[in-house]
């Protein structure tokens, strides 16, 4: 009986070992599948490399057309105030829009005077500063000074004062009343167009 008992014991041990080995094998497969899925999830964001930001350069001296969106009057501004213009046509580089139609272009007031007494004309002096690109960056523009003067009435006022004083010397103070006539303010009419140029190479990031 003892040999049979030993044989049965060995057979039972072999079956148990087989089950353990199979269990380990199945567990190993599950672990491999889990690692594969994890790796797949981690690598997925890498597929967005095709959507990475590509920089485009706007060459120095590139022409941009802008216009005044509203009437800009010299009496309503003072030095260092900002004035706004808008881009007329979109600017494209290699077929990609880098500055949109209607984008804001900014200028800075250097001098602003309303029309003065004795027919003195108003004055408006400004320089362009930047234009807004599609990525929100400010593209620098050449700071060419623009200057406008209103209509001067000085000669007309002086003539009227001389005539009045000569004809009516006994009421000369009346001639001084002509001195209160103001010259015209300087202004940029709505829709007035200007050409501006990019200053230096500008980089715009396109998504």
Nearest 10 degrees: CA dihedral of 112, 118, 119, 121?
-20
Q: Which pLDDT score is estimated for 143?
A: 87
Q: Which pLDDT score is estimated for 159?
A: 46
* Cβ atoms 112, 78 nearer than 8 A: yes
Q: How far apart are CA 189 and CA 148, in angstroms?
A: 11
* Cβ atoms 100, 135 nearer than 8 A: no
Q: Which pLDDT score is estimated for 183?
A: 76
Give CA 4 to chain center in angstroms.
Answer: 93
> What residues contact 23, with CB distance under 8 A and at least 6 apart?
none
The two tokens of residue 188 are 């940029």
* Cβ atoms 137, 108 nearer than 8 A: no
Q: How far apart are CA 41 and CA 19, in angstroms?
A: 33
pLDDT in tens, the chain (207 residues): 455 556 555 555 555 554 444 444 444 444 343 444 444 444 444 444 445 668 999 999 999 999 999 999 999 999 999 999 999 999 999 999 999 999 999 999 999 998 755 567 899 999 999 999 999 999 999 988 998 886 654 444 444 444 444 445 545 554 444 445 667 899 899 999 999 999 999 999 988
Q: How far apart are CA 39 and CA 32, in angstroms?
A: 10
* Cβ atoms 92, 98 nearer than 8 A: yes
> What residues contact 61, with CB distance under 8 A and at least 6 apart?
197, 198
Q: Which pLDDT score is estimated for 68?
A: 97
> What residues contact 58, with CB distance under 8 A and at least 6 apart?
91, 93, 98, 99, 133, 139, 198, 201, 202, 203, 204
> What residues contact 192, with CB distance under 8 A and at least 6 apart?
67, 68
């Amino acid at each position: 009986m003892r040999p049979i008992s030993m044989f049965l014991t060995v057979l039972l041990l072999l079956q148990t070992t087989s089950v353990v080995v199979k269990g380990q094998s199945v567990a190993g497969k599950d672990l491999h599948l889990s690692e594969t899925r994890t790796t797949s999830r981690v690598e997925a964001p890498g597929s967005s490399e095709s959507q990475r930001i590509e920089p485009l350069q706007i060459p120095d001296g590139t022409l941009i057309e802008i216009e005044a969106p509203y009437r800009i009057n010299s009496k309503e501004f003072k030095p260092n105030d900002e004035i706004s213009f808008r881009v007329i046509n979109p600017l494209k580089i290699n077929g990609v829009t880098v500055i949109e139609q209607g984008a804001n272009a900014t200028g800075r007031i250097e001098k602003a005077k309303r029309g003065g007494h004795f027919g003195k004309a108003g004055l408006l002096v400004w320089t362009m500063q930047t234009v807004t690109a599609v990525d929100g960056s400010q593209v620098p523009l050449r700071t060419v000074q623009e200057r406008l003067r209103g209509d001067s009435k000085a000669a007309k006022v002086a003539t009227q004062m001389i005539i009045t004083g000569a004809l009516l010397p006994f009421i000369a103070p009346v001639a001084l009343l002509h001195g209160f006539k103001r010259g015209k303010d300087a202004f940029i009419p709505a829709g007035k167009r200007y050409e501006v140029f990019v200053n230096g190479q500008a980089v715009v990031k396109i998504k």
